[in-house]
Structures are given as C-alpha cells and as structure tokens.
Amino acid sequence: MSKIVSQYADQLSLIGIYPVIALILFMAVFAAVLVQVSMMERADLRELSKLPLDMNDDPETLNEQTH
C-alpha cells in the first residue's frame, strides 16, 4: 500500500510543471500573433477592421447574410 502512495506522491511533485508549460506556451502564441500583426501593412489592417461592418448592397447577398 505504501508503494502505491509513494508512487502517487512522486507523480504529484511533477504536476507543478504543467502551469509553467501552459504559461510558456501562451506567451509564445501571444508573442507570435503580436509580431504577425505588427508586420502587417496598414492598408490590410484597415480592410480587416472594416470586415464586420462591411455590408454589400446586393439584395440577394443581404438575404443570405440575414438567414
């Protein structure tokens, strides 16, 4: 029984590495996105910023967007 408990305790001591790995992974992805956005051209950024509000005047397309 003590062998099982000691093995379980050894596994628990290694569990502290997971939050560190998650933080490093998050920071790496965040930095990659930040670099990618900062390297984009201003014209592309303006076009992308208008996408959610850009409405097409074509009635057929408008019906498809609302349904």
Phi-psi category of residue 41: left, alpha or beta, with phi > 0 → left and psi -120 to 50 → alpha: beta
Chain segment 21-66, per-residue pLDDT in tens? 999 999 999 999 999 999 999 998 888 888 877 666 555 555 555 5
pLDDT tens, position by position, 8-20:
767 777 777 888 8
Q: Note down the domain range covering 60.
A: 2-66
Q: Report the C-alpha gap between 28 and 30 in whole angstroms.
A: 5
> Alpha-carbon distance 7 to 39, whole Å?
49
Number of domains in the chain: 1
- The first and second tokens of residue 27, run together, are 């920071």
**Cβ atoms 53, 46 nearer than 8 A:** no
Q: What is the pTM of this model?
A: 0.54
CB 59 within 8 A of CB 65: no
